[in-house]
Amino acid sequence: MTKISILEQLKQADAEGYAIPHFNYSDIWDMTAIVRAAEEMHSPVMLAGVPKVTNALTMDTVAAMAHSLADNAKVPVYLHLDHSTDPQICKDACDHHFDTVMIDGSKESLERNIEMTADVVSYAHPRGIFVEGEIGKIKGNTEESQYANGDFLVQVPDAVKLVQSTGVDILAVGIGTAHGFYQGKPEINFQRLAEVNEALSIPLVLHGGTGIPAEDVRKAIKNGINKVNVGTIIKYTYLSSVFETLKRVGPTIHTIDLMLPAVEAIKEEVKRWIAVCMSDGKACLLYTSP
Ligand code: 13P
């Protein structure tokens, strides 16, 4: 069984008005929950590892776990490296046959961002791997005050220049969303999103999914978003379940009996997000003839 490429999936999502959901994992348990939820909802899904995880567990181990789940899944599961600021880690993920790698040069100057992104593209493309770049800034809770006057917002000419000079395939755009839990209601600049979408023909990504109301996620999809990234709530759901079980029964429990309720809890959260992204029922597999 082979799957259509992630770029084809994203284009299909664009044509049909839904988004491909991306979920960050920490280990095999939440990875498993994400894949099971996608299967139950018949949705394509992106399994996203951040360098903190791939460094701690090793790229070899993470790739082996993710490939094994993807190869045996009943829906298309794509391996993605998320938010690497280091081109070398992107190249390592390419060598481990990820489908996509993200090089995040958004905190650098535009020139340096272009240089880093072009470097990763030149390594990834000959290997058939797609690259996500970032322009504008995705805020973090602790950084919010640093970005006065909307200077985290993507500038349309910068986005065009990054794409034209690097050949990057997918673009994360700073439109007011933040990683982590929001302190107030997220203020998304839909106007700027629509302008970037008008200027570019590549798939756009909404980062900082946790805490964005469903109606705003859908409005973003309408205005050009093709991929929605969700991380914090997965971790929070996972750890809350483990915490509650341990509080109730103590640490003499078998690890499996601690983890299975966590898998169920994560699955429910993932299914909720798949419904928000409207990707349920959109799994499309290509079967090779026997
Ligand atoms: P959250 O952790 O805010 O859901 O954002 C995830 C993300 O954007 C990963 O790239």
Cβ 84 under 6 angstroms from ligand 1: no
- Count how many residues are written for the chain: 290
* 3-class SS letters over the chain: CEECCHHHHHHHHHHHCCCEEEEECCCHHHHHHHHHHHHHHCCCEEEEECHHHHHHHCHHHHHHHHHHHHHHCCCCEEEEEEEECCHHHHHHHHHCCCCEEEECCCCCCHHHHHHHHHHHHHHHHHHCCEEEEEECCCEECCCHHHCHHHCCCCCHHHHHHHHHHHCCCEEEECCCCEECCCCCCCCCCHHHHHHHHHHCCCCEEECCCCCCCHHHHHHHHHCCEEEEEECHHHHHHHHHHHHHHHHHHCCCCCHHHHHHHHHHHHHHHHHHHHHHHCCCCCCCEECCCC
Cβ 167 under 6 angstroms from ligand 1: no
Residues near 272 by beta carbon (within 8 Å), at least 6 away in sequence: none
Residue pLDDT, tens place only, 193-218: 999 999 999 999 999 999 999 999 99
Marked catalytic residue, from 14, 60, 71, 82: 82
Ligand 1 centre distance from Cα of residue 231 (Å): 4
Residue pLDDT, tens place only, 251-283: 999 999 999 999 999 999 999 999 999 999 999
Ligand 1 centre distance from Cα of residue 233 (Å): 9
**Residue 82: active-site member:** yes
CA distances to 82, 142, 208 from 129, rounded to whole Å, are 14, 33, 24
Residues near 70 by beta carbon (within 8 Å), at least 6 away in sequence: 35, 47, 77, 78, 79
Looking at ligand 1, which atom is closest to the CA of residue 233? 4
**Side chain identity, residue 116:** M
pLDDT computed for residue 150 by the predictor: 62
Where does residue 290 rank: exposed (0-12), middle (13-18), buried (19+ CB within 10 A)? exposed
Is residue 148 predicted with pLDDT exceeding 60? no
> What band does 286 get if pLDDT is binned at 50, 70 and 90?
low
Residue pLDDT, tens place only, 158-186: 999 999 999 999 999 999 999 999 988 89
Residue pLDDT, tens place only, 41-74: 999 999 999 999 999 999 999 999 999 999 999 9
pLDDT computed for residue 290 by the predictor: 42
Better-predicted residue by pLDDT, 138 or 133: 133
Sign of torsion, CA 74 75 79 82? negative
Cβ 209 under 6 angstroms from ligand 1: yes
> What band does 146 get if pLDDT is binned at 50, 70 and 90?
low
- Angle formed at CA 137 by CA 130 and CA 131, multiple of 5 degrees: 5
Cβ 26 under 6 angstroms from ligand 1: no
Percent over 70 (pLDDT), the chain:
94
Of 20, 24, 142, 273, the one to substitute when testing ligand 1's pocket (max ligand atoms within 8 A of C-beta) is: 24
182-194 exposure pattern, b = at least 16 Cβ within 10 A, e = fewer: beeebebbbebbe
Looking at ligand 1, which atom is closest to the CA of residue 235? 2
pLDDT computed for residue 65 by the predictor: 98
Better-predicted residue by pLDDT, 288 or 286: 286
Residue pLDDT, tens place only, 108-132: 999 999 999 999 999 999 999 999 9
Residue pLDDT, tens place only, 85-113: 999 999 999 999 999 999 999 999 999 99
Ligand 1 centre distance from Cα of residue 199 (Å): 25
The candidate with the shortest Cα–Cα distance to 45, out of 217, 210, 284, 218, is 284
Cβ 134 under 6 angstroms from ligand 1: no
Cβ 82 under 6 angstroms from ligand 1: yes
Strands 285-286 and 2-3: antiparallel
Looking at ligand 1, which atom is closest to the CA of residue 178? 3
Cβ 24 under 6 angstroms from ligand 1: yes
Is residue 142 predicted with pLDDT exceeding 70? no
